[in-house]
């Protein structure tokens, strides 16, 4: 796993990041995490679309043509012999003397990507996880996948310190998403998830789950819901790249539904698994 993408070249992993990279100093950049199953990238086009949107929203010009970038990522997976894991891809506004405003146009954005081997977390999938509730203290453009993750880091750390796997965040009383995943609840066989607006990241896994629910004739309501509704749900689950779909069986030490992964979640998970076993998309 020692070969990385640095701008348009695949090179040995080494210290290539400058101390004045704006990603490093300002979090001035965007990123994607792409799942790899059976040596194939899953939902690559959707990740590329989201990357382009995030970059546009912060007025960052992606230096590579998207098709070339996709080819470089394929090459990276191959050269590292990655069967199962993730690609981390990040583009920052480049290296310039520290000053808040954008650097002049001669400064090129910096692209890096590397791979990491990661197995699916089947035990979590099977048994479910616990979560805590925490105030969503992030900014108002959570739809952009930027490098600024400190509130997410603090939330996840709080979860782990409370022996939980994830932190489910809420603004006032409205559940938004979790520190690194989207949240779905099931009530009377219908699903609810926060609408894809500026308060959440529109997860690629979230989108896939919504599509699968349509195929399963399960109604998904992209509507806000309160913390109380979450606590009284029949089922709760979270979605994210490589985590896929993980049942949440306890929130703030309170069991959700039966306290075990629910049938609707299992049904969706089963359908999702059939997509990734022989990974269909490159």
Minimum separation from the CB atom of position 206 to ligand PMP (A): 6
Shortest reach from residue 138's CB to ligand PMP, in Å: 8
What crossing angle do the helices spanning 44-57 and 204-215 adopt, rounded to 10°? 130
Q: At its nearest, how many Å lie between ligand PMP and the CB of residue 96?
A: 27
The pairing of strands 182-187 and 190-193 is antiparallel
Q: Give yes or no: 145 in active site.
A: yes
Backbone angles phi, psi at 151, to 5 degrees: -60, -35
Q: Tell me whether residue 8 or residue 135 sits nearer to ligand PMP (CB atom).
A: 135
By the criterion CB under 6 A, which residues form the site for ligand PMP? 33, 152, 177, 180-182, 201, 203-206, 239-241
In the complex with ligand PMP, the residue whose CB is nearer, 76 or 204, is 204
The catalytic position among 40, 52, 70, 145 is: 145
Q: Which of the 8 DSSP states describes residue 21?
A: B
Contact 62, 176 (CB under 8 A): no
Query: Is 43 or 69 the residue whose CB approaches ligand PMP more closely?
Result: 43
How many Cα atoms are found within 13 Å in the side-chain-facing hemisphere of 273?
Answer: 12
User: What residue number has its CB nearest to ligand PMP?
Assistant: 203
Strands 166-171 and 129-135, by their bridges, are parallel
Q: How far is the CB of 50 from ligand PMP (least distance, A)?
A: 7
Closer residue to ligand PMP, CB minimum distance, 6 or 199 = 199
Specify whether the CB–CB gap between 138 and 180 falls below 8 A.
no
Task: Show which residues are catalytic.
Answer: 145
């Amino acid at each position: 796993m020692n070969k990385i993408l640095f701008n348009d070249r695949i090179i040995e992993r080494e210290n290539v990041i400058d101390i004045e990279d704006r990603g490093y100093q300002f979090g001035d950049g965007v990123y994607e995490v792409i799942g790899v199953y059976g040596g194939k990238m899953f939902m690559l086009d959707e990740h590329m679309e989201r990357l382009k949107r995030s970059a546009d929203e912060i007025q960052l010009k992606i230096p590579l043509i998207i098709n070339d970038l996709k080819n470089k990522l394929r090459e990276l997976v191959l050269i590292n012999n990655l069967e199962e894991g993730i690609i981390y891809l990040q583009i920052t506004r480049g290296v310039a003397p520290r000053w808040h405003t954008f650097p002049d146009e001669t400064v090129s954005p910096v692209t890096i990507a590397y791979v990491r081997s990661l197995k699916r977390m089947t035990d979590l999938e099977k048994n479910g996880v616990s979560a805590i509730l925490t105030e969503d203290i992030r900014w108002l453009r959570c739809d952009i996948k930027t490098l600024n993750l400190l509130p997410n880091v603090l939330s996840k750390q709080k979860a782990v310190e409370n022996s939980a796997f994830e932190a489910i965040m809420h603004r006032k009383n409205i559940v938004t998403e979790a520190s690194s995943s989207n949240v779905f609840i099931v009530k009377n066989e219908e699903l609810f998830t926060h609408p894809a607006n500026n308060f959440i990241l529109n997860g690629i896994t979230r989108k896939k789950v919504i599509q699968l629910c349509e195929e399963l004739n399960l109604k998904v309501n992209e509507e806000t819901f309160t913390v109380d509704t979450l606590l009284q749900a029949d089922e709760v689950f979270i979605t994210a790249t490589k985590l896929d779909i993980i049942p949440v069986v306890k929130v703030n030490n309170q069991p959700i539904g039966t306290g075990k992964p629910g049938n609707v979640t299992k049904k969706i998970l089963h359908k999702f698994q059939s997509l990734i076993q022989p990974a269909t998309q490159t």
